[in-house]
Chains A and B, each alone.
Chain A
Amino acid sequence: MRMNRLFRTATALSFTGAVALPLLPALAQDDLVTRDRVGLADAENSLTFRLTAYDLYSADPATAEGFVELFTTFINEHPGWRIDTQLQTGNLNEEQARILEQAQAGRGPDCAMIDSAQLATFKNAGVLAPMTDYFTQAEIDDLFPYVREAVTDDNGDIVALWWFTDLRVLYRNAGVVPDAPQTWEETQQAALDTVDEGYEGLLFNGGRTEGTAFDWLAFFWAQGGELVDETGAPIFYEGENREKFLAALQFYDDLVESGAAPQRVATITTYDDITAAAAAGTTAMFIGGNWQYAQLQTTLPVDQAEQWQVSELPGPTADQRATGTGGWAIAALSDDPAKVEMCAEIAKLYAGPGNAFQRLLPTSAALYEEYDEFAGPEFDVFAAALENGQARPGVASYPEISNQIQILLGEVLSQSKEPEQALDDAAAALEVGSDS
Protein backbone atom coordinates (compact mmCIF):
# COMPACT_ATOMS: atom_id res chain seq x y z
CA MET A 1 0.00 0.00 0.00
CA ARG A 2 2.77 2.35 1.07
CA MET A 3 4.94 1.28 -1.84
CA ASN A 4 2.07 1.89 -4.21
CA ARG A 5 1.62 5.42 -2.96
CA LEU A 6 5.34 6.07 -3.28
CA PHE A 7 5.33 4.65 -6.77
CA ARG A 8 2.38 6.82 -7.79
CA THR A 9 4.00 9.91 -6.32
CA ALA A 10 7.27 9.20 -8.08
CA THR A 11 5.47 8.58 -11.38
CA ALA A 12 3.52 11.82 -11.05
CA LEU A 13 6.64 13.80 -10.22
CA SER A 14 8.53 12.24 -13.13
CA PHE A 15 5.69 13.06 -15.49
CA THR A 16 5.43 16.61 -14.22
CA GLY A 17 9.18 17.00 -14.56
CA ALA A 18 9.22 15.53 -18.04
CA VAL A 19 6.55 17.97 -19.15
CA ALA A 20 7.89 21.01 -17.29
CA LEU A 21 11.60 20.71 -18.02
CA PRO A 22 11.37 21.36 -21.77
CA LEU A 23 9.15 24.33 -20.96
CA LEU A 24 11.72 25.98 -18.67
CA PRO A 25 13.75 27.63 -21.45
CA ALA A 26 10.54 28.91 -22.96
CA LEU A 27 9.43 30.28 -19.59
CA ALA A 28 12.82 31.94 -19.15
CA GLN A 29 12.57 33.40 -22.63
CA ASP A 30 9.22 34.90 -21.78
CA ASP A 31 10.97 36.96 -19.09
CA LEU A 32 11.75 39.97 -21.26
CA VAL A 33 14.03 41.76 -18.81
CA THR A 34 16.71 39.81 -16.95
CA ARG A 35 20.01 40.75 -15.30
CA ASP A 36 21.83 40.51 -18.60
CA ARG A 37 19.35 41.12 -21.38
CA VAL A 38 16.22 42.88 -22.54
CA GLY A 39 14.19 40.96 -25.12
CA LEU A 40 13.82 37.34 -26.06
CA ALA A 41 16.90 35.18 -25.68
CA ASP A 42 16.58 33.85 -29.23
CA ALA A 43 15.92 37.21 -30.89
CA GLU A 44 17.22 37.57 -34.42
CA ASN A 45 19.21 40.78 -33.82
CA SER A 46 21.17 41.83 -30.78
CA LEU A 47 23.28 44.69 -29.56
CA THR A 48 25.35 45.11 -26.42
CA PHE A 49 24.51 48.07 -24.18
CA ARG A 50 26.76 49.06 -21.31
CA LEU A 51 24.74 51.02 -18.81
CA THR A 52 25.17 52.44 -15.32
CA ALA A 53 23.48 51.01 -12.26
CA TYR A 54 21.23 54.00 -11.70
CA ASP A 55 18.11 52.96 -13.62
CA LEU A 56 17.22 49.50 -15.01
CA TYR A 57 19.44 47.80 -12.45
CA SER A 58 19.04 50.39 -9.72
CA ALA A 59 19.29 49.25 -6.11
CA ASP A 60 16.08 51.21 -5.55
CA PRO A 61 13.30 48.70 -6.35
CA ALA A 62 10.84 51.41 -7.46
CA THR A 63 13.31 52.83 -9.99
CA ALA A 64 14.23 49.38 -11.29
CA GLU A 65 10.57 48.37 -11.64
CA GLY A 66 9.76 51.57 -13.51
CA PHE A 67 12.56 50.97 -15.98
CA VAL A 68 11.61 47.32 -16.43
CA GLU A 69 8.20 48.57 -17.57
CA LEU A 70 9.77 51.16 -19.88
CA PHE A 71 12.13 48.62 -21.43
CA THR A 72 9.39 46.00 -21.79
CA THR A 73 7.28 48.44 -23.77
CA PHE A 74 10.35 49.47 -25.76
CA ILE A 75 11.40 45.96 -26.74
CA ASN A 76 7.83 45.04 -27.69
CA GLU A 77 7.95 47.97 -30.11
CA HIS A 78 11.22 46.61 -31.52
CA PRO A 79 10.46 42.93 -32.13
CA GLY A 80 13.35 40.82 -33.28
CA TRP A 81 15.85 42.69 -31.11
CA ARG A 82 17.64 41.67 -27.96
CA ILE A 83 19.66 44.10 -25.87
CA ASP A 84 22.51 42.36 -24.08
CA THR A 85 23.03 44.55 -21.05
CA GLN A 86 26.44 44.99 -19.44
CA LEU A 87 26.56 46.80 -16.12
CA GLN A 88 29.20 49.40 -15.35
CA THR A 89 30.57 49.24 -11.80
CA GLY A 90 30.57 52.24 -9.50
CA ASN A 91 34.18 53.01 -10.37
CA LEU A 92 33.20 55.26 -13.24
CA ASN A 93 36.64 56.50 -14.24
CA GLU A 94 37.90 52.97 -14.65
CA GLU A 95 34.73 51.91 -16.46
CA GLN A 96 34.92 54.77 -18.92
CA ALA A 97 38.59 54.08 -19.57
CA ARG A 98 37.78 50.42 -20.16
CA ILE A 99 35.03 51.23 -22.68
CA LEU A 100 37.39 53.54 -24.52
CA GLU A 101 40.19 51.00 -24.63
CA GLN A 102 37.86 48.19 -25.73
CA ALA A 103 36.28 50.38 -28.42
CA GLN A 104 39.70 51.17 -29.85
CA ALA A 105 40.54 47.48 -29.95
CA GLY A 106 37.21 46.75 -31.70
CA ARG A 107 35.86 44.90 -28.66
CA GLY A 108 33.71 47.64 -27.18
CA PRO A 109 29.96 47.54 -26.58
CA ASP A 110 27.69 48.55 -29.46
CA CYS A 111 26.07 51.21 -27.33
CA ALA A 112 27.16 52.72 -24.03
CA MET A 113 26.49 55.36 -21.45
CA ILE A 114 29.26 57.94 -21.48
CA ASP A 115 29.83 60.40 -18.65
CA SER A 116 29.41 63.90 -20.07
CA ALA A 117 32.79 64.78 -18.54
CA GLN A 118 34.44 62.12 -20.71
CA LEU A 119 32.54 62.87 -23.91
CA ALA A 120 35.35 65.00 -25.32
CA THR A 121 37.87 62.20 -24.78
CA PHE A 122 35.66 59.74 -26.66
CA LYS A 123 35.06 62.25 -29.45
CA ASN A 124 38.77 62.96 -29.82
CA ALA A 125 39.51 59.23 -29.93
CA GLY A 126 37.14 58.92 -32.91
CA VAL A 127 35.31 55.88 -31.58
CA LEU A 128 31.76 57.27 -31.64
CA ALA A 129 29.49 56.49 -34.59
CA PRO A 130 27.48 59.35 -36.17
CA MET A 131 23.79 59.28 -35.16
CA THR A 132 22.61 62.37 -37.03
CA ASP A 133 20.38 60.37 -39.40
CA TYR A 134 18.26 59.13 -36.53
CA PHE A 135 17.29 62.54 -35.15
CA THR A 136 15.14 65.18 -36.79
CA GLN A 137 16.59 68.63 -37.28
CA ALA A 138 13.96 69.93 -34.85
CA GLU A 139 15.15 67.49 -32.18
CA ILE A 140 18.75 68.59 -32.70
CA ASP A 141 17.86 72.29 -32.67
CA ASP A 142 15.92 71.85 -29.44
CA LEU A 143 18.96 70.64 -27.48
CA PHE A 144 20.44 73.19 -25.05
CA PRO A 145 23.27 74.97 -26.90
CA TYR A 146 26.09 73.69 -24.64
CA VAL A 147 24.72 70.18 -25.01
CA ARG A 148 24.45 70.42 -28.81
CA GLU A 149 28.02 71.67 -29.00
CA ALA A 150 29.29 68.84 -26.79
CA VAL A 151 27.63 66.07 -28.81
CA THR A 152 28.62 67.41 -32.23
CA ASP A 153 31.90 66.30 -33.77
CA ASP A 154 34.21 68.23 -36.11
CA ASN A 155 32.21 67.02 -39.14
CA GLY A 156 29.00 68.45 -37.73
CA ASP A 157 27.61 65.01 -36.91
CA ILE A 158 25.70 64.19 -33.75
CA VAL A 159 27.75 61.44 -32.10
CA ALA A 160 25.84 61.00 -28.84
CA LEU A 161 22.66 62.01 -27.08
CA TRP A 162 23.39 63.77 -23.78
CA TRP A 163 20.14 62.50 -22.36
CA PHE A 164 19.99 64.30 -19.05
CA THR A 165 21.81 67.10 -17.38
CA ASP A 166 22.16 67.85 -13.71
CA LEU A 167 23.21 70.77 -11.61
CA ARG A 168 24.35 71.63 -8.12
CA VAL A 169 22.19 73.58 -5.72
CA LEU A 170 22.17 74.58 -2.06
CA TYR A 171 19.83 72.51 0.08
CA ARG A 172 18.55 73.78 3.39
CA ASN A 173 16.14 72.65 6.04
CA ALA A 174 13.81 75.66 5.93
CA GLY A 175 12.69 74.94 9.49
CA VAL A 176 16.24 75.73 10.63
CA VAL A 177 17.40 78.08 7.86
CA PRO A 178 14.29 79.98 6.72
CA ASP A 179 15.97 82.20 4.14
CA ALA A 180 18.21 80.98 1.38
CA PRO A 181 21.73 82.43 1.72
CA GLN A 182 22.71 84.34 -1.40
CA THR A 183 26.40 85.01 -0.80
CA TRP A 184 29.37 83.09 0.57
CA GLU A 185 29.36 85.23 3.70
CA GLU A 186 25.66 84.63 4.32
CA THR A 187 26.17 80.92 3.76
CA GLN A 188 28.96 80.72 6.32
CA GLN A 189 26.91 82.62 8.86
CA ALA A 190 23.79 80.51 8.25
CA ALA A 191 25.87 77.34 8.62
CA LEU A 192 27.41 78.62 11.87
CA ASP A 193 23.90 79.32 13.19
CA THR A 194 22.92 75.69 12.47
CA VAL A 195 26.03 74.50 14.31
CA ASP A 196 24.89 76.52 17.33
CA GLU A 197 21.63 74.59 17.15
CA GLY A 198 23.46 71.25 17.28
CA TYR A 199 23.76 70.46 13.56
CA GLU A 200 26.93 69.53 11.71
CA GLY A 201 26.95 72.64 9.58
CA LEU A 202 27.26 72.77 5.81
CA LEU A 203 28.12 69.44 4.15
CA PHE A 204 29.64 68.96 0.70
CA ASN A 205 31.88 66.53 -1.16
CA GLY A 206 35.53 67.06 -0.20
CA GLY A 207 37.19 63.68 -0.71
CA ARG A 208 39.00 62.23 -3.75
CA THR A 209 36.09 62.11 -6.15
CA GLU A 210 34.93 63.96 -9.25
CA GLY A 211 31.98 65.42 -7.33
CA THR A 212 34.37 67.34 -5.07
CA ALA A 213 35.99 69.21 -7.93
CA PHE A 214 32.81 69.70 -9.91
CA ASP A 215 30.69 71.00 -7.01
CA TRP A 216 33.38 73.45 -6.00
CA LEU A 217 34.14 74.67 -9.54
CA ALA A 218 30.82 76.54 -9.47
CA PHE A 219 32.39 79.01 -7.02
CA PHE A 220 35.33 79.56 -9.36
CA TRP A 221 33.11 79.91 -12.42
CA ALA A 222 30.78 82.33 -10.58
CA GLN A 223 33.63 84.87 -10.66
CA GLY A 224 34.20 84.31 -14.37
CA GLY A 225 37.19 82.03 -13.85
CA GLU A 226 38.42 79.86 -16.71
CA LEU A 227 40.01 76.46 -16.32
CA VAL A 228 41.60 76.09 -19.77
CA ASP A 229 42.44 78.25 -22.76
CA GLU A 230 41.15 77.69 -26.29
CA THR A 231 43.85 75.05 -26.91
CA GLY A 232 42.76 73.07 -23.85
CA ALA A 233 45.83 73.97 -21.78
CA PRO A 234 45.15 74.62 -18.07
CA ILE A 235 45.29 78.31 -17.14
CA PHE A 236 43.42 78.39 -13.83
CA TYR A 237 46.61 78.97 -11.84
CA GLU A 238 47.73 82.04 -13.79
CA GLY A 239 46.89 85.76 -13.74
CA GLU A 240 43.33 86.77 -12.87
CA ASN A 241 42.19 83.17 -12.86
CA ARG A 242 44.60 82.46 -10.03
CA GLU A 243 43.04 85.19 -7.88
CA LYS A 244 39.56 83.86 -8.57
CA PHE A 245 40.66 80.32 -7.88
CA LEU A 246 42.22 81.31 -4.56
CA ALA A 247 39.13 83.29 -3.57
CA ALA A 248 36.93 80.24 -4.11
CA LEU A 249 39.44 78.07 -2.23
CA GLN A 250 39.43 80.53 0.62
CA PHE A 251 35.63 80.24 0.83
CA TYR A 252 35.90 76.48 1.50
CA ASP A 253 38.90 76.95 3.79
CA ASP A 254 37.00 79.53 5.87
CA LEU A 255 33.98 77.23 6.13
CA VAL A 256 36.08 74.54 7.81
CA GLU A 257 38.30 76.89 9.83
CA SER A 258 35.30 78.73 11.26
CA GLY A 259 33.49 75.50 12.07
CA ALA A 260 30.67 76.27 9.63
CA ALA A 261 31.54 72.97 7.94
CA PRO A 262 33.00 69.95 9.77
CA GLN A 263 36.49 68.83 8.81
CA ARG A 264 34.96 65.47 7.89
CA VAL A 265 33.85 66.98 4.58
CA ALA A 266 37.39 66.05 3.45
CA THR A 267 36.25 62.40 3.66
CA ILE A 268 32.89 62.71 1.88
CA THR A 269 33.07 61.08 -1.53
CA THR A 270 29.46 60.35 -2.44
CA TYR A 271 26.27 62.35 -2.56
CA ASP A 272 24.62 59.40 -0.81
CA ASP A 273 26.66 60.12 2.33
CA ILE A 274 25.22 63.63 2.34
CA THR A 275 21.67 62.45 1.67
CA ALA A 276 22.06 60.02 4.58
CA ALA A 277 23.11 62.86 6.90
CA ALA A 278 20.16 64.99 5.74
CA ALA A 279 17.75 62.10 6.20
CA ALA A 280 19.17 61.40 9.65
CA GLY A 281 18.68 65.06 10.54
CA THR A 282 22.30 65.68 11.46
CA THR A 283 22.75 68.48 8.97
CA ALA A 284 20.51 71.35 7.98
CA MET A 285 22.46 72.53 4.90
CA PHE A 286 24.35 70.85 2.10
CA ILE A 287 25.59 71.34 -1.43
CA GLY A 288 24.11 68.63 -3.61
CA GLY A 289 22.77 67.59 -6.96
CA ASN A 290 19.25 68.26 -8.19
CA TRP A 291 18.44 64.52 -8.13
CA GLN A 292 18.79 64.46 -4.36
CA TYR A 293 15.57 66.46 -4.07
CA ALA A 294 13.49 63.51 -5.31
CA GLN A 295 15.50 61.16 -3.09
CA LEU A 296 14.70 63.22 0.01
CA GLN A 297 11.03 63.41 -0.94
CA THR A 298 10.77 59.65 -1.24
CA THR A 299 12.99 58.85 1.77
CA LEU A 300 11.59 61.17 4.42
CA PRO A 301 8.11 61.43 5.93
CA VAL A 302 6.07 64.14 4.19
CA ASP A 303 6.31 66.68 7.02
CA GLN A 304 10.11 66.39 7.10
CA ALA A 305 10.53 66.18 3.34
CA GLU A 306 8.68 69.44 2.75
CA GLN A 307 11.14 71.24 5.04
CA TRP A 308 13.93 70.66 2.53
CA GLN A 309 14.16 73.43 -0.01
CA VAL A 310 16.60 74.25 -2.76
CA SER A 311 18.17 77.49 -3.91
CA GLU A 312 20.92 78.55 -6.29
CA LEU A 313 24.46 78.06 -5.06
CA PRO A 314 25.68 81.24 -3.33
CA GLY A 315 28.20 83.48 -5.04
CA PRO A 316 30.82 85.92 -3.80
CA THR A 317 28.06 88.47 -4.36
CA ALA A 318 24.37 87.81 -4.96
CA ASP A 319 24.83 88.70 -8.64
CA GLN A 320 27.69 86.29 -9.30
CA ARG A 321 26.31 82.79 -9.64
CA ALA A 322 27.21 79.59 -11.41
CA THR A 323 26.51 75.90 -11.15
CA GLY A 324 28.17 72.90 -12.72
CA THR A 325 26.04 71.00 -15.20
CA GLY A 326 26.87 67.37 -15.79
CA GLY A 327 24.86 64.32 -16.74
CA TRP A 328 25.21 61.31 -18.98
CA ALA A 329 25.17 60.66 -22.71
CA ILE A 330 24.38 57.57 -24.73
CA ALA A 331 26.54 56.88 -27.77
CA ALA A 332 27.00 54.16 -30.36
CA LEU A 333 30.39 52.51 -30.79
CA SER A 334 29.38 50.19 -33.63
CA ASP A 335 29.86 50.34 -37.41
CA ASP A 336 26.56 48.53 -38.01
CA PRO A 337 23.90 51.13 -39.03
CA ALA A 338 21.08 48.98 -37.62
CA LYS A 339 22.78 48.87 -34.23
CA VAL A 340 23.52 52.59 -34.32
CA GLU A 341 19.83 53.27 -35.02
CA MET A 342 18.80 50.96 -32.17
CA CYS A 343 21.25 52.76 -29.88
CA ALA A 344 19.69 56.11 -30.87
CA GLU A 345 16.25 54.68 -30.03
CA ILE A 346 17.49 53.60 -26.60
CA ALA A 347 18.89 57.10 -26.07
CA LYS A 348 15.50 58.60 -26.89
CA LEU A 349 13.85 56.21 -24.43
CA TYR A 350 16.09 57.53 -21.68
CA ALA A 351 15.79 61.16 -22.75
CA GLY A 352 11.98 61.18 -22.75
CA PRO A 353 10.11 58.63 -20.60
CA GLY A 354 13.24 57.70 -18.64
CA ASN A 355 13.88 61.29 -17.57
CA ALA A 356 10.23 61.87 -16.75
CA PHE A 357 10.15 58.76 -14.56
CA GLN A 358 13.26 59.74 -12.62
CA ARG A 359 12.45 63.46 -12.67
CA LEU A 360 15.91 64.23 -13.99
CA LEU A 361 16.61 67.26 -16.13
CA PRO A 362 16.20 66.73 -19.88
CA THR A 363 18.58 68.55 -22.21
CA SER A 364 15.86 69.51 -24.61
CA ALA A 365 13.44 72.38 -23.88
CA ALA A 366 10.45 70.67 -25.51
CA LEU A 367 10.56 67.75 -23.08
CA TYR A 368 9.89 70.05 -20.11
CA GLU A 369 6.58 70.98 -21.76
CA GLU A 370 5.75 67.44 -22.80
CA TYR A 371 5.79 65.79 -19.36
CA ASP A 372 3.81 66.85 -16.28
CA GLU A 373 6.56 65.41 -14.05
CA PHE A 374 8.62 68.56 -14.66
CA ALA A 375 5.95 70.91 -13.23
CA GLY A 376 7.04 70.95 -9.55
CA PRO A 377 8.18 74.21 -7.89
CA GLU A 378 11.71 72.84 -7.55
CA PHE A 379 11.97 72.81 -11.33
CA ASP A 380 11.54 76.60 -11.33
CA VAL A 381 14.65 76.83 -9.15
CA PHE A 382 16.50 74.33 -11.34
CA ALA A 383 15.50 76.18 -14.50
CA ALA A 384 16.73 79.50 -13.05
CA ALA A 385 19.99 77.91 -11.92
CA LEU A 386 20.48 76.29 -15.34
CA GLU A 387 20.69 79.80 -16.80
CA ASN A 388 24.00 80.07 -14.94
CA GLY A 389 24.94 76.51 -15.82
CA GLN A 390 28.49 75.73 -16.84
CA ALA A 391 29.59 72.44 -18.35
CA ARG A 392 33.03 71.01 -17.78
CA PRO A 393 35.46 71.97 -20.51
CA GLY A 394 35.35 69.48 -23.36
CA VAL A 395 39.07 68.80 -23.34
CA ALA A 396 40.96 65.57 -22.85
CA SER A 397 42.99 67.09 -20.02
CA TYR A 398 39.91 67.70 -17.84
CA PRO A 399 40.10 64.39 -15.86
CA GLU A 400 43.62 65.18 -14.68
CA ILE A 401 42.72 68.83 -13.94
CA SER A 402 39.84 67.52 -11.84
CA ASN A 403 42.18 65.05 -10.12
CA GLN A 404 44.55 67.86 -9.14
CA ILE A 405 41.66 70.02 -7.89
CA GLN A 406 40.42 67.11 -5.75
CA ILE A 407 43.90 66.74 -4.27
CA LEU A 408 44.36 70.41 -3.51
CA LEU A 409 40.86 70.75 -2.02
CA GLY A 410 41.61 67.79 0.25
CA GLU A 411 44.84 69.43 1.36
CA VAL A 412 43.08 72.71 2.10
CA LEU A 413 40.06 71.16 3.84
CA SER A 414 42.24 68.94 6.00
CA GLN A 415 44.22 72.08 6.89
CA SER A 416 47.47 70.47 5.77
CA LYS A 417 48.29 73.19 3.23
CA GLU A 418 47.46 76.84 2.73
CA PRO A 419 45.45 77.55 -0.44
CA GLU A 420 48.40 79.21 -2.22
CA GLN A 421 50.75 76.29 -1.56
CA ALA A 422 48.15 73.72 -2.59
CA LEU A 423 47.47 75.60 -5.84
CA ASP A 424 51.19 75.94 -6.64
CA ASP A 425 51.71 72.21 -6.11
CA ALA A 426 48.76 71.34 -8.36
CA ALA A 427 50.10 73.69 -11.05
CA ALA A 428 53.54 72.07 -10.85
CA ALA A 429 52.02 68.58 -11.18
CA LEU A 430 49.95 69.63 -14.19
CA GLU A 431 52.90 71.28 -15.89
CA VAL A 432 54.99 68.13 -15.52
CA GLY A 433 52.09 66.12 -16.92
CA SER A 434 51.68 68.41 -19.92
CA ASP A 435 55.36 68.18 -20.86
CA SER A 436 54.71 65.02 -22.82
Chain B
Amino acid sequence: MHPVAPEPPRPERGRTAGERPREVSEAQQAVETAPTWTARAIAALNPRFLLSQADGYPVGIKQFLQFCLVLVYPAWLFCVLLYWPLWVIGKVLEGILWVLFWPVRAAFSGRR
Protein backbone atom coordinates (compact mmCIF):
# COMPACT_ATOMS: atom_id res chain seq x y z
CA MET B 1 0.00 0.00 0.00
CA HIS B 2 1.27 3.43 -0.98
CA PRO B 3 1.50 6.14 1.65
CA VAL B 4 -1.47 8.48 1.45
CA ALA B 5 -0.49 11.88 0.04
CA PRO B 6 -1.94 14.97 1.73
CA GLU B 7 -5.09 16.31 0.07
CA PRO B 8 -4.38 18.61 -2.90
CA PRO B 9 -5.86 22.11 -2.68
CA ARG B 10 -9.17 22.69 -4.40
CA PRO B 11 -8.48 23.96 -7.94
CA GLU B 12 -9.56 27.49 -8.70
CA ARG B 13 -12.78 27.62 -10.71
CA GLY B 14 -13.18 29.86 -13.76
CA ARG B 15 -15.49 32.82 -14.03
CA THR B 16 -18.82 33.03 -15.83
CA ALA B 17 -19.54 35.72 -18.40
CA GLY B 18 -21.33 37.74 -15.72
CA GLU B 19 -18.39 37.54 -13.29
CA ARG B 20 -15.81 38.63 -15.88
CA PRO B 21 -15.07 42.25 -16.70
CA ARG B 22 -16.41 43.27 -20.09
CA GLU B 23 -13.80 42.95 -22.83
CA VAL B 24 -13.95 45.76 -25.38
CA SER B 25 -11.28 47.11 -27.65
CA GLU B 26 -9.83 50.60 -27.13
CA ALA B 27 -11.52 51.88 -30.29
CA GLN B 28 -14.90 50.55 -29.17
CA GLN B 29 -14.39 52.00 -25.69
CA ALA B 30 -13.71 55.40 -27.31
CA VAL B 31 -17.03 55.23 -29.18
CA GLU B 32 -18.97 54.16 -26.07
CA THR B 33 -17.52 56.79 -23.76
CA ALA B 34 -17.61 59.72 -26.22
CA PRO B 35 -19.36 62.60 -24.43
CA THR B 36 -21.27 64.12 -27.34
CA TRP B 37 -23.05 62.81 -30.38
CA THR B 38 -20.49 64.35 -32.77
CA ALA B 39 -17.51 62.99 -30.81
CA ARG B 40 -19.15 59.61 -30.95
CA ALA B 41 -19.65 59.78 -34.71
CA ILE B 42 -16.02 60.87 -35.18
CA ALA B 43 -14.78 57.98 -33.00
CA ALA B 44 -16.92 55.61 -35.06
CA LEU B 45 -15.31 56.89 -38.26
CA ASN B 46 -11.92 55.60 -37.04
CA PRO B 47 -11.08 52.51 -39.15
CA ARG B 48 -9.68 50.82 -36.02
CA PHE B 49 -13.20 50.74 -34.59
CA LEU B 50 -14.50 48.85 -37.61
CA LEU B 51 -11.52 46.43 -37.62
CA SER B 52 -12.00 45.75 -33.90
CA GLN B 53 -15.39 44.19 -34.70
CA ALA B 54 -13.48 41.08 -35.83
CA ASP B 55 -11.64 40.76 -32.48
CA GLY B 56 -11.91 37.45 -30.69
CA TYR B 57 -12.58 35.33 -33.76
CA PRO B 58 -10.22 32.41 -34.49
CA VAL B 59 -7.15 33.10 -36.58
CA GLY B 60 -7.92 33.05 -40.30
CA ILE B 61 -11.59 33.87 -39.79
CA LYS B 62 -10.52 37.10 -38.08
CA GLN B 63 -8.31 38.14 -41.00
CA PHE B 64 -11.07 37.28 -43.48
CA LEU B 65 -13.57 39.35 -41.49
CA GLN B 66 -11.11 42.25 -41.34
CA PHE B 67 -10.71 42.00 -45.12
CA CYS B 68 -14.52 42.15 -45.49
CA LEU B 69 -14.70 45.08 -43.05
CA VAL B 70 -12.07 46.98 -45.06
CA LEU B 71 -14.21 46.41 -48.16
CA VAL B 72 -17.31 47.81 -46.47
CA TYR B 73 -15.43 50.76 -44.88
CA PRO B 74 -16.61 53.33 -47.50
CA ALA B 75 -20.18 52.13 -47.00
CA TRP B 76 -19.64 52.39 -43.23
CA LEU B 77 -18.48 56.03 -43.60
CA PHE B 78 -21.60 56.73 -45.62
CA CYS B 79 -23.82 55.10 -42.97
CA VAL B 80 -22.21 57.08 -40.13
CA LEU B 81 -22.81 60.32 -42.01
CA LEU B 82 -26.42 59.27 -42.60
CA TYR B 83 -26.82 58.17 -38.95
CA TRP B 84 -28.72 61.25 -37.79
CA PRO B 85 -31.28 61.42 -40.67
CA LEU B 86 -31.76 57.62 -40.47
CA TRP B 87 -32.39 57.86 -36.75
CA VAL B 88 -34.96 60.61 -37.30
CA ILE B 89 -36.72 58.54 -39.99
CA GLY B 90 -36.76 55.57 -37.59
CA LYS B 91 -38.28 57.67 -34.82
CA VAL B 92 -40.98 58.98 -37.20
CA LEU B 93 -41.75 55.39 -38.25
CA GLU B 94 -41.94 54.33 -34.60
CA GLY B 95 -44.41 57.14 -33.91
CA ILE B 96 -46.61 56.12 -36.84
CA LEU B 97 -46.65 52.47 -35.71
CA TRP B 98 -47.32 53.52 -32.11
CA VAL B 99 -50.47 55.39 -33.19
CA LEU B 100 -51.50 52.61 -35.61
CA PHE B 101 -51.28 49.90 -32.95
CA TRP B 102 -53.02 51.93 -30.21
CA PRO B 103 -56.29 49.93 -30.45
CA VAL B 104 -54.39 46.62 -30.32
CA ARG B 105 -52.52 47.65 -27.17
CA ALA B 106 -55.69 48.95 -25.55
CA ALA B 107 -57.46 45.62 -26.22
CA PHE B 108 -54.66 43.34 -25.05
CA SER B 109 -52.92 45.15 -22.22
CA GLY B 110 -53.39 44.04 -18.62
CA ARG B 111 -54.93 40.89 -17.25
CA ARG B 112 -58.51 42.14 -17.06
* A pairs with B: no
Q: Which residues of A are interface residues toward B (Cβ below 8 A)?
A: none
Residues of B within 8 A of A (CB): none
